[in-house]
Amino acid sequence: MRITTLKLKNFRNYQELDIDFSDHSNIFIGNNAQGKTNLLEALYIIGSTKSFRRVHDDQLLKIGQNNAGINAEIIKKGLKKTIKFDFIAKTGKKIWVNGKNSKKISDYLGNINVILFCPEDLMLIKGEAAFRRRFIDSLLCQTDNVYLSHLINFQRVLKQRNFLLKDIQERKKAKDVLGPWDEQLVSFAGVIAKKRDILIKNVNKILEMIYKKLNIDEKMEIIYKDTIFKGENFEEEEYATKYKNKLKSINFEEIRKGMTIIGPHRDDLEIKLDNLNARFYSSQGQQRTMAISLRMAEVEYIYSVFSEYPILLLDDIFSELDDKRKGYLIKFLKPDIQIFITGTRVSDFSQMIPRARVFNINQGKAAINKNE
């Protein structure tokens, strides 16, 4: 799995960019605010269709411009493809694969897989539940089209149901309008919850392997804390039935609040270290190791699905790690994984330089390091 070339036009602080990449390590070196992370953002969009900064598409356009473009050549399973993203101010984006318009995001996802490592990954351990839901949703959406379809439909029905709850609260609608929407909601939710449950069981096996490989004498484990069975084992049909009954039992409370208060959109993952909740009972160093391990587990899980490693994006990650944890990460970076890394000093990557292509990034321009 490779991104071989990247072209940008009016993207962030890049007016024009055209670069070719190494099949292994690519390092972007430069001072802060020069455009290093913007390059990773463009690469991440190629994989996921959206920015990891969680911004509106209009913010991707270079200041003063009405359109922007990302073009790339990729290879997956030995097949070469051309990818094109067109961003138009106040209109949105269009995606093209080999010249054919991908009208649905669900049709596009899976063309290339990317995993981002960044300092904010600590929030997977110590942050709110939304960070951990995004982690599991992102991984499943990259690897399971059925999950992606059900998640999109669940979110659509959830939005409509919340509108109806507010209308009922304001006495604009009768309570019985919820019935058909509840049927759809619990059906989609059952598939989502079961697939999350299965994924977490597989990720736990991978985490055990990672900790053994790194010679860490601790046990990291993830517990899926759904709002219906609350961590107990369940089957898809059981989930849907129990969810439907619970919705009926809290009907008055949901009307009073004007929102759906239980379901997959409120689930969480409890991350444990040696049987204790790591959010409250782990050191900063342990949390960094766990965050890195979660990303490593993503990589290995994607490999288990596609028999190819995803592309890794590492945004200023080495500056946040001590030597021991840098060693963990470097040990994990296999020769057959394409990597893109940002940093401020070439010396931070001395163990990789022999096989890396180094780019100097300055004011929205990229030049190959002459000392490469």
Determine the average pLDDT of the residues in 32-57: 94
Using an 8 Å Cβ cutoff, are 135 and 269 in contact?
yes
- Check: CB of residue 112 under 8 Å from CB of residue 6: no
> Could you tell me the two tokens for 91?
């209109």
Using left for φ > 0, alpha for ψ between -120 and 50, and beta otherwise, residue 359 falls in: beta
- Give dist(CA 82, CA 70) in Å, integer: 11
Q: What is the pLDDT of residue 333?
A: 82
Provide the H-helix boundaries in 52-144: 105-108, 123-126, 129-143
pLDDT digits (tens, 9 = 90+) for 167-202: 999 989 899 999 999 999 999 999 999 999 999 999
The reported pLDDT for the residue numbered 371 is 65
CA separation, residue 352 to residues 14, 349, 357 (Å): 27, 5, 10
- pLDDT band, residue 215 (cuts 50/70/90): confident
Phi-psi domain of 206 (left: phi exceeds 0; alpha: psi -120 through 50; beta: other): alpha
Higher-scoring residue by pLDDT: 16, 320:
16
Beta-bridged to residue 76, according to DSSP, are: 79
Work out the average pLDDT over 342-362.
81
Which residue would you say has higher pLDDT here, 316 or 82? Answer: 82
pLDDT attached to residue 317: 84
On whether the CB atoms of residues 358 and 369 are closer than 8 A, the answer is yes
pLDDT(21) > 60: yes
pTM of the model: 0.93
Positive or negative: CA dihedral 124, 125, 128, 129 = positive
Q: Which pLDDT score, from 0 to 100, does residue 249 have?
A: 95
Residue 199 CB neighbours (<10 A): 19
Q: How far apart are CA 279 and CA 111, in angstroms?
A: 35
Output the average pLDDT for the chain: 93
Calculate mean pLDDT across residues 345-363.
Answer: 80
Give me the residue label for tokens 């690519």.
26
Task: Please state which of the ranges 84-98, 102-116, 140-154, 338-352 shows the lowest mean pLDDT.
Answer: 338-352
In tens, the pLDDT along 232-277 reads 889 999 999 999 999 999 999 999 999 999 999 999 999 999 999 9
pLDDT at 158: 98
Phi and psi, residue 52, nearest 5°: -75, -10
Grade residue 351 by pLDDT with cuts at 50, 70 and 90: low
Contact 243, 250 (CB under 8 A): no
Burial label for 311, CB within 10 Å (0-12, 13-18, 19+), is buried
CA 30 to chain CA centroid, nearest Å: 25
Contact 348, 35 (CB under 8 A): no
For residues 342-360, average pLDDT = 80
d(CA 59, CA 268): 30
Rounded to an integer, the average pLDDT of 285-294 is 92
pLDDT at 318 over 90: no
Q: What angle do CA 142, 13, 73 make, to 5 degrees?
A: 40
Q: CA 109, CA 47: separation in Å to the nearest integer?
A: 7
User: Cα–Cα distance between 187 and 99 in angstroms, integer?
Assistant: 36
Secondary structure of the chain: what % helix, strand, coil (to 5)? 45, 25, 30
Give CA torsion, residues 4, 50, 35, 293, to 10 deg: -80
CA-nearest of 131, 97, 95 to 116 is: 131
Instruction: Answer whether residue 372 shows pLDDT above 70.
Output: no
DSSP 150-191: HHHHHHHHHHHHHHHHHHHHTTSS-GGGHHHHHHHHHHHHHH
Among candidates 244, 137, 249, which has minimal Cα distance to 192? Answer: 137
